[in-house]
Amino acid sequence: MASRKVRRDTAALESMAATALADTVRSLSMVAQHNTEAVAAAAELLIACFEDGGTAYFCGNGGSAADAQHLAAEFSGRYLVDRPGLPAHALTANSSAVTAIGNDYGYDQVFSRQLEGCGQPGDVLVAITTSGRSESIRRVVRTAQDLGMHVIGMTGAKGTEFAALCDVALITPSASTPNIQEGHIAMGHAFCLIVERTMFPDAAAGQGPKRTKRAPAKRKPTARKRATKRVAKRGARK
């Protein structure tokens, strides 16, 4: 039997596309208005971590799991310039670990259990939850804090309670999950850019790639104090 060709209203489809894109533009404009200082503070924590030889860990569920892997890859690979890889790992990426821990201990522990075995004081956790209610994310935040790590939280307008648990909170001021996720990637790209330009200024200025692999330089003791002090000031203003 011959298939029937469905006639679609092109004007209606274009109208829906225009509405969706306009919603994204409005949401990202609000992200820029409300998060400039927080993005800079997140970048400062990550720079301090990497310069001290630490590691950044990323985690999230569903679309946020994809965002966690995306942002970790921007550091371990590269964002815009050719430079040494930075130690960044997504706790979502090992399917054997996630399924074994979920099966043996419960899904709430799939990230915290992994972090218990590898997190170190001075490392950074980037924890992503659009709702702020994901127990697997809230639990890994508590584990990171017990380990002496800094926590960068990424959430939406309803995640204020979760945001208060974190050293730095990057909040997309929206209740729409797609718009929240778009804000998270925009802010994640922003802190990737800042970290790369700050740590590798020669490469960022186009003066040639740094192809020689080397361990991260040891940071002066004052660098972590500076980053921690800035985070403390932000907390005092909340």
- Give tens-digit pLDDT for 47-91: 999 999 999 999 999 999 999 999 999 999 999 999 999 999 999
The answer on pLDDT for 20 being more than 70 is yes
> CA-based Rg of the chain, rounded to a whole angstrom?
20
Dump the DSSP string for the chain: -PPPPPP--HHHHHHHHHHHHHHHHHHHHHHHHHHHHHHHHHHHHHHHHHHTT--EEEE-STHHHHHHHHHHHHHHS-SSS------EEETTS-HHHHHHHHHHT-GGGTTHHHHHHH--TT-EEEEE-SSS--HHHHHHHHHHHHTT-EEEEEEETT-HHHHTTSSEEEEE--S-HHHHHHHHHHHHHHHHHHHHHHH-HHHHTTS----S--PPPPPPHHHHHHHHHHHHHHHHH-
Residue 202: which pLDDT band, with cuts at 50, 70 and 90? confident
Measuring CA to CA, which residue among 16, 9, 45 is closest to residue 169? 45
Residue 145 CB-density burial (10 A; 0-12 exposed, 13-18 middle, 19+ buried): middle
HSE on the CB side for 216, CA within 13 Å?
19
pLDDT number for residue 15: 96
CATH number of 59-207: 3.40.50.10490
- Lowest mean per-residue pLDDT among 44-53, 158-167, 228-237: 228-237
Contact 191, 46 (CB under 8 A): yes
Write down the domain spans for the chain: 59-207
The answer on pLDDT for 218 being more than 80 is no
Contact 210, 82 (CB under 8 A): yes
- Lowest mean per-residue pLDDT among 34-38, 108-112, 206-210: 206-210
- Looking at this protein, which amino acid is placed at residue 107? Y
166 φ, ψ to 5°? -100, 155
